[in-house]
Amino acid sequence: MLKFELNVSKIKSSYENQVKIDENCIFNYAKRINYFGSVVLSNIESHSLLKRICEVAECDLVMNSPTIETIKAVLRKGVKRIIIPEKTIDDISQKISKKIIIARITLRKTLLLNSNLIDLKTELKEIINRVVPYCSELLIDYDEGLTIDESTILAVIDYISDFINYPVTFLDTNNKFTEILEKRGVNPFICSSEMFKEKEMIKIFKSALDFQKLECLIPTIVQDEHNQILMLAFSSQDSLTQALIQKKGIYYSRSRKSIWIKGETSGNYQMLNKVRYDCDQDALLFNVRQEGVACHLQRYSCFGNKEFKLSDLYEIIQERILNPTPNSYTSKISKDERL
């Protein structure tokens, strides 16, 4: 999965002589990122902004000097996982579940500059063996100012893969190695001092995909916002581009041999929440808000009727509180200060 850096102080500094970057700009950028991958937040001071972002995006948070108290505080705001320097893991590993910890391993500048791969690999192995029992993923990074060639990156990744099978994310400055990393099963951590435009993010997302296995089409599983499977469709490069631009369920019809917008004739549109690809980059998962039904047989899903979820009930209750009707019992009890 793509991971995009959202370093708040870096972005503000980059744009200080051009435009004012306020909290709404940062929030909207996080929403944009979420269509394509997860947000890696850092240098964010506002807890209210952190909470807002976590409500609309999958967020990991970089913490350079974490304590048990600060970790618990950000988890309550909605952060999924924390990214911490590997040297600090021993201090918190006994009290925080490994499921929410990503260990950040920074490759030493001297070893990279001298292409000293033997010492680099030895050091990496020692660190990884030490931290793996206490984390769920590894983030490998280096000084962003360094110029590292493709062969060095591949040597490091292949070495890690040879001695351990573990989720790995690798720093990818300005989207230089996204396609290479994905083909090796490594999550690209795409860093930039500027905010990517939507057109750029679409290009990055599509560059990771393999359209060659099935006549230039990719099977696309469609699920609703509560993760119920709705249907199976197919995406072409053009239909995917249109889906990401228009934020709708737009697919490729094999029978009509053309792009089709779900709901264009029936009115049962699908509003796109986010898109993800699988581990082989040859299948897509659309998460949508379904209007009406998804199936042409007038069933909610092509795989059956709508499943009951507590989240559905919660939405109904929220709607009746926000838009009360005269005879609604929910509206009445929501106004009762004794409850």
For the chain, the domains span 3-196, 218-307
Give 68-108 pLDDT, tens digit per residue.
999 999 999 999 999 999 999 988 888 899 999 999 999 88
Mean pLDDT, the chain, integer: 90
Q: State residue 312's pLDDT score.
A: 67
Q: State residue 328's pLDDT score.
A: 73
CB 257 within 8 A of CB 267: no
CB neighbours (10 Å) of residue 161? 14
Give 164-197 pLDDT, tens digit per residue.
899 999 998 878 888 889 988 899 999 988 899 9
Gyration radius (Cα) of the chain, Å: 23
Q: Per the structure block, which two tokens stand in for 132?
A: 């793996």
Compute the CA torsion angle 301, 302, 304, 308 (nearest 10 deg): -20
The values of phi and psi at residue 24, to 5°, are -65, -35
**Fold observed for domain 3-196:** TIM Barrel (3.20.20)
Give 51-61 pLDDT, tens digit per residue.
999 999 999 99
Q: How confident is the model at residue 338 (pLDDT cuts 50, 70, 90)?
A: low
Q: How confident is the model at residue 120 (pLDDT cuts 50, 70, 90)?
A: confident
Question: Would the pLDDT of 115 be above 70?
Answer: no
Give just the sign of the alpha carbon dihedral 153, 157, 158, 160. Answer: positive
Give 25-62 pLDDT, tens digit per residue.
999 999 999 999 999 999 999 999 999 999 999 999 99
Give 229-281 pLDDT, tens digit per residue.
999 999 999 999 999 999 999 999 999 999 999 999 999 999 999 999 999 99
CB 270 within 8 A of CB 235: no
What gap in Å lies between CA 122 and CA 112, rounded to an integer?
A: 13
In sequence order, what are the residues at sequence separation of 6 or more whose Cβ sits closer than 8 angstroms to the Cβ of residue 179?
207, 208
Q: Per the structure block, which two tokens stand in for 56?
A: 């609309």
Place of tokens 């505080």: 73
The mean-pLDDT minimum among 9-13, 133-137, 242-246 falls in: 9-13
Question: Would the pLDDT of 218 be above 60?
Answer: yes
For the 218-307 domain, the top CATH level (class) is: alpha beta
- Residue 105, beta-bridge partner list: 140
